Structure formats: C-alpha cells, structure tokens
Chains A and B, each alone.
Chain A
Amino acid sequence: MISVLIDFTYLLASVLFIFGIKGLTHPRTAVRGNLLGATGMLLAVVATLADRQVFGSGPQGLGLIVAGVLLGATIGATLALKIQMTAMPQMVALLNAFGGGASALIAGAVLADTADPGTQTVVATVVSGIIGSVTFWGSLVAFDKLQGLMLPDNPVHFPAQQALNVTLAVATVGLGAWIVADPSQLTSYGLLVVVGSVLGVLLTIPIGGADMPVAIALLNSYSGLAAASTGFVLNNNILIITGSLVGASGLILTQIMCKAMNRSLMNVLLGAIGPDSGPVQGADEVYAGRVKSTSPEEVAMLFDGARRVVIVPGYGMAVAQAQHQVRDLANLLESKGTEVEFAIHPVAGRMPGHMNVLLAEANVDYDKLRAMDDINPSFQQTDVTLIIGANDIVNPVARTDPSSPIAGMPILDVDKSRTVVVVKRSLSPGFAGIPNPLFAADNTVMLFADGKKAVLDLITAIKDG
C-alpha cells in the first residue's frame, strides 16, 4: 500500500515538474513554475523518506541522510545566493557536473549493493557510469575554462587527439561489455568511471570560449540522460521522466546554439573554429585608413538626434560588468524621448540566455530584450546602433564571404542601421579570429575604451550636452 502511495506521489511530482518547465515559457509565469518544480521535488523526497528501506534504515542511515542533506543544502544555498549573475555559466557548469556525478555514484552504489543484478540494471549502470563521469569531468573542465583558472580559454589541441578520444570511447564500451558479462567485478566499474573521466576532460578541452554555450547546453543534456539512465538502474519512473525532460531540454538548446553559429555539433565538439584554424585574413587590408575613432561627446551628439537606438550587448559587457551602466544609459536616452531596444544574439555571452539574465538583473524591462530574428528587420529604421563588447555576432562577413570561418552564421544586421557605434578596447579579433569589416564601414565609428568606462563617459557627455 505504502509503495503504491509513493509511486503515486512520484507521478504527481513528475506532473509538477512538467508544469514547472511550462511555467518557464513566459517571464510572467516563470516564478510560479519554478516554485511548482520545487514543490514536486519536496513531495518526491518526502515520499522516498517514507519508503521502508529508507525509513527503516535505523539511526545510522537516517543520521547520514540528515548530514548529507544539510551539507548539500548549505553548499547549494551558498552557491546560489553568492554567485554573481555574470558568473551564471560557471554555476550551471557546476550543477551539470554534480548532476552527472550523482548519477554515476548511484549507479555504482546499486551495482555494489545488488547480489545478482539483471541485464537491464547492469547495462543501465554502465551507461550511467559512462555518461555520468564524462559529464562530471567535462563540466568541471568547462567550469575551469569559464572561471579562467588553470586551463586556457582557447581550444587546446594536441597530436592524435581524435585517435585518443576514439580509443578511450572504445575502451569504455569494452569495459562496459566486461561489466555486463560479469557484474560482480566492481573494480571494472571503477575503471570504467576513470576512463570516462579522462574522456570527459579530453572532449571538453578542445572547446574554446565562444563555443561554451554549446558545450554547456550539451553537458546539461548529458546530465539529464545520466539521470534517466539511473532511472533504468533503479526501475524508477520519475528519474526516467525527469531525466528525459532535461535531456531533451539540453539537446534543444544545443541545437539552437549550433544553428545560431551555422555549425554542426561535430564541428563545435572538435573545436574546429578558433584562432589557429586557417589563415587569418590581413587585418591591415580590412582596416587600413578606414577605421574612424570617436569620442563620447561625438557619440552623445549622434544620440541627440536619434529617434531609435538599438543596443547590442556581447560577452565584453559581461566581462566589464557594465550591465547597470548600460541600463542607466538606456533610461537616460528614453527620458529624452528616444526609443531604445536591446538586440540579443542567441550565442552572445557564454551560455544560452546569458545577456538576458544580465540585463534583467539590471532591471531592464524584458519587453525591450529582443531576439535576433525579431529585431533584425528593424535595423533599417534604427538611427544609432550601439555595440558593447560584441564582435563575431555582428560581422557582416558571415553574409558575404563563403570561405570565412563564420560563413552563413546568422548575425545581427547592425550594418543596416544609419550609424553604428562600436565600444571596444581595441581592434583585436573576436573568437573566430577574423577581422570585422563592420569596424571599417562608412557608417561605423569606434569608441575605444573599456565597456563600463565608455558607457559612463557617454552618460556624462549626454547629460552635459
């Protein structure tokens, strides 16, 4: 009877998770959606505590459970409350890692605990072990790169990299087959996790900065698939349902990100783009004598006569932590009767939706945050487009040069606006390593400065003007 009640509660929790994600389809319902999800989780945990195995595990078991939950809750709450909005990609990378890690550990625990596991359990255990350890270490590498700790942000390549990866992948499958043949060999599961871990590191190392949105989304999907696979280990519906929801979510985001860069997933995973791919076209040829540097005062004059201004934020805005100043600038312009909107490229920043979160943090009305396809047709009616710390996503070469590394990538059509103001520290290339003819275009002026300082100077200049 109890077990039926528990299963029923799990079903209820699954439904709440689905409604929770549904809530995220609109900003107005998002808070409620998240609370529904949390309620579902609480129900699922309470139901599990009522399970005979858990409830009857005695003081030692219950003590460990309380200790584990307290420890995890403290770490989780500290992370969630302390993390800067600019560091959200790192936070998600960590959560991806922990999700994958938990699945691999649980699968190991079940394998160690079950005397004669059936084929489904063992196969699912192997799958959880592989995906879980790849996700855990891959996400930690992504975290390290995003945080700028030990590993370079750039793609890391070494000889025979692909051959090594293939060998390791084959090794995990071989080890998996061995475990299926003889599930009593716990050492082989440990070995499987070790090989999976190395594979996770090696698969993520070649992925560089601007490709991180793809890596993060894909690892997100993996962590879901690991959870689903753990559901097959435990014969548990709610793990399977939740895991497949998360897996689907990550895959869809991965697909959106790849499309936004006009690259195949394989191409991103192999780290095929980057400063060391192909010859860098002569920057001198593109820029020589044609780049016009400007001052905040001149830009203030441009703004003065503008009816419509579009602001294009990029990763540089996040690095400079300039979102609050950008908001002030937008408000100031609006107070003078100018229409201001923000154009958000899907891969601007280091994770899907990165720019939206930063601008929402700065209290920018979400109706003003316009997606690429939505805002592109309006650039022709835009007087001034202000680009802050973005480069490749506004490079018109993507439309014109089929041999360019970013050929065919959908871009923000900023060059169609009357005047383009680019705030950038130097003419250095973006992640794709190519010069940007936009900077040399007739209707473009460059404001060379750090993002935050430039925007502050602009605000002062407009107020004085």
Chain B
Amino acid sequence: MDTFLPLLTIFMLAVFVGVEIITKVPPLLHTPLMSGSNAISGITIIGALLSVAAGGTLPTILGFLALVLATINVVGGFLVTHRMVAMFKKKDEDPS
C-alpha cells in the first residue's frame, strides 16, 4: 500500500492538468484531440513490452496481444492525427 498514495496523488494532479489544457482545445480540433489522445494512451505499450519479456507462457501470450493492440494505437493514432491536423489551414498560410 505504500506506493498507492503517491500514485493516487499523481493521478489526481494529472487529471487537473488534463482538465485545464483540454477545456482550451477548440471544437474545431475535437476529432484530432480524440485520435491524438488514443495515440498517447497507447503508452500501455510499455506495459506490454514488460509483459512479453516477463517469461511464463500465459503472460507472454497476453503481453504479445497487448503489444500488437497498443502498437496499433501508437502508430495508427499519431499517423491519423497527423493526417488530420495537417489539413487545417488558413488560405494565406497554405504553401500549395
């Protein structure tokens, strides 16, 4: 239990940071916000990496499946977000 309170503290503070930043995201960018947040929630990839490397058969299988899913989120999430945000232009700053 000795790690729980520090972790909960971090969790709570991060929620406040999240609320502060995200309320400033304009409706214009809400879709990229969702795909982008999917991309960063692919951070579970590091948990998957640890599980795959852990040893036993079952953890390895579960970890491998998680690794595939998390990698889809990371790669797919950042790429599709990039595709979207790159489209938002003003005429005068459009290089083409």
Residues of A within 8 A of B55 (CB): 57, 113
The residue that B31 contacts in the complex, of A34, A236, A352, with Cβ under 8 A, is: A352
In the bound assembly, the distance between CA atoms of A35 and B60 in angstroms comes to: 31
B30 touches A352 (CB 8 A): yes
In the bound assembly, the distance between CA atoms of A303 and B18 in angstroms comes to: 45
In the bound assembly, the distance between CA atoms of A54 and B69 in angstroms comes to: 18
Contact with B along A232-247 (1 / 0, CB 8 A): 1111111111111111
A238 touches B21 (CB 8 A): no
Residue of B nearest to A14 (CB): B14
- How far apart are A386's CB and chain B's nearest CB, in angstroms? 20
A249 touches B11 (CB 8 A): no
In the bound assembly, the distance between CA atoms of A224 and B11 in angstroms comes to: 12
- How far apart are A115's CB and chain B's nearest CB, in angstroms? 11
A369 touches B78 (CB 8 A): no
Residues of B within 8 A of A73 (CB): 71-72, 75
Cβ-based interface call for A253 (8 A): yes
The interface residues of chain A, by DSSP majority, are classed as helix
Cβ-based interface call for A266 (8 A): no
Residues of B within 8 A of A44 (CB): 43, 45-46
Q: Given contacts A54-B49, A71-B68, A72-B70, is CB(A242)–CB(B62) below 8 Å? A: no
A246 touches B27 (CB 8 A): no
11 A–B pairs (Cβ distance < 8 Å), ordered by A: A31-B85, A37-B78, A44-B43, A80-B75, A95-B76, A112-B58, A220-B34, A247-B15, A253-B34, A356-B30, A369-B28
Q: Given contacts A37-B78, A98-B73, is CB(A241)–CB(B10) below 8 Å? A: yes
In the bound assembly, the distance between CA atoms of A404 and B25 in angstroms comes to: 32
Cβ-based interface call for A390 (8 A): no
B69 touches A101 (CB 8 A): yes
In the bound assembly, the distance between CA atoms of A38 and B74 in angstroms comes to: 8
Please name the 7 residue pairs, one residue from A and one from B, whose CB atoms are nearest each other, closest first: A72-B71, A248-B18, A353-B30, A76-B76, A76-B75, A57-B53, A80-B79
Stretch in A20-28, A409-417, A438-446 touching the partner: A20-28
In the bound assembly, the distance between CA atoms of A44 and B71 in angstroms comes to: 13
Contact with B along A34-53 (1 / 0, CB 8 A): 11011011001101110101
Residues of B within 8 A of A25 (CB): 21, 24-26, 29
Residues of A within 8 A of B54 (CB): 53, 57, 109, 113
A51 touches B87 (CB 8 A): no
In the bound assembly, the distance between CA atoms of A265 and B6 in angstroms comes to: 31
- How far apart are B10's CB and chain A's nearest CB, in angstroms? 5
- How far apart are A438's CB and chain B's nearest CB, in angstroms? 23
B85 touches A27 (CB 8 A): yes
- How far apart are B89's CB and chain A's nearest CB, in angstroms? 7
B48 touches A353 (CB 8 A): no
User: B residues 14-53 with Cβ under 8 Å of A?
Assistant: 14-15, 17-19, 21-53
B3 touches A235 (CB 8 A): yes
User: A residues 89-111 with Cβ under 8 Å of B?
Assistant: 91-92, 95-96, 98-99, 101-103, 105-106, 108-110
